[in-house]
Amino acid sequence: MMEWIVLRRAARALRLAGFFALGACTHLPGQGTDLQRLADAMRSRPIVLLGEVHDNAEQHALRAQALRELLASGARPALLMEQFDRERQTEIDKAMAQAGATADDVIKAAGAQDVGWAWPLYRPFIALALKYRLPLVAANVSRADARRVSQEGLSATGFDARVPVGIESYQTNTILASHCGMLNEAQARRMATAQVARDQFMARLLSEYSQRGAVLLAGNGHVRNDVGVPTWLPPAVRQRSVGIGLLENGETGAEAYDRVVTTAAPAARPDPCEGMKRPAS
């Protein structure tokens, strides 16, 4: 999912954060079957690309419990998070190494507390990384980096410029739709290169941690097999990975993932385009 969508959803997600008590098991209506399905999918391969709708608290609770069960079974994957920008890795490592560190300490050390993510929904994952001493890896290309990619291009910024037409078209159309008619196609195409850079960077990290095993927490768009991170994985790494989409009731596109778990949608969201309309002159 795009950063601008995250910012619009963050306030709404905070209202849903009551699902969580740090480190506690969360039980939701109908969770048993969904939890088993998700836990089985996460155990099926050592490299897990775990999708999400960013503001869906039920999905976060389900994922946290499935990860908790995976770790209790003895697995010790690296935890890669889209929510942290890559240039803050040193600060994250230092915070993770501090005795008695909390999830909030890590978030603060990364300078991420005001970035726009609904941190109450992500604290349980960071707490698990602290408890089990997992590498916590910043998996996002920051907005500053994204602007540079958009302006200078992929190859000039260390990424692969050989982007299949289908991926470029999908990312461009997604950006056009999310900006509610406020961008033209040329602008959207430039911004699409930043999304490609993010997927390529996440793929690099998964490859780096492939022998140990890894769990990537990212929006559903990033874990799609047709246009997301899996398209940039080396074949040997792709064979050891599973992309899991967590969709809401009524969403389409299940065929784009290796596995799918469907949850209820939160209460109706406001029209995301409403706040982007230009004031009348």
**CA 91, 232, 34 angle in degrees (round to 5)?**
80
How far is residue 181's CA from residue 185's CA, in Å, rounded to a whole number? 10
pLDDT in tens, 88-110: 999 999 999 999 999 999 999 99
Residue 172 CA, distance from chain mean position: 19
**If DSSP codes are grouped into helix, strand and coil, which group holds residue 243?**
strand
What sections of 17-133 are H helices per DSSP?
Answer: 31-43, 57-72, 89-97, 103-109, 123-131
- Is-contact 223 245, C-beta < 8 A? yes
Residue-wise pLDDT tens for the chain (281 aa)?
A: 444 344 344 434 433 434 333 333 334 445 669 999 999 999 999 999 999 999 999 999 999 999 999 999 999 999 999 999 999 999 999 999 999 999 999 999 999 998 889 999 999 999 999 999 999 999 999 999 999 999 999 999 999 999 999 999 999 999 999 888 888 899 999 999 999 999 999 999 999 999 999 999 999 999 999 999 999 999 999 999 999 999 999 999 999 999 999 999 887 777 778 766 554 44
- pLDDT at residue number 203: 98
- pLDDT at residue number 13: 41
- Is-contact 233 205, C-beta < 8 A? no
What sections of 153-240 are H helices per DSSP?
Answer: 165-178, 185-208, 235-239
Strand partners, 216: 49, 80
Q: Structural domain boundaries of the chain?
A: 30-144+209-264
What's the pTM?
0.87
- Is-contact 140 87, C-beta < 8 A? no
| Count of CB atoms situated within 10 Å of the CB of 183 | 16
Tell me the CB-side half-sphere exposure of residue 26, using CA atoms within 13 A: 23
- pLDDT at residue number 224: 98
- Is-contact 96 130, C-beta < 8 A? yes
Which phi and psi angles does 260 have, rounded to 5°? -135, 135
pLDDT in tens, 148-159: 999 999 999 999
- pLDDT at residue number 278: 52
Q: Topology of 30-144+209-264 in CATH? A: Rossmann fold (3.40.50)
- pLDDT at residue number 53: 96
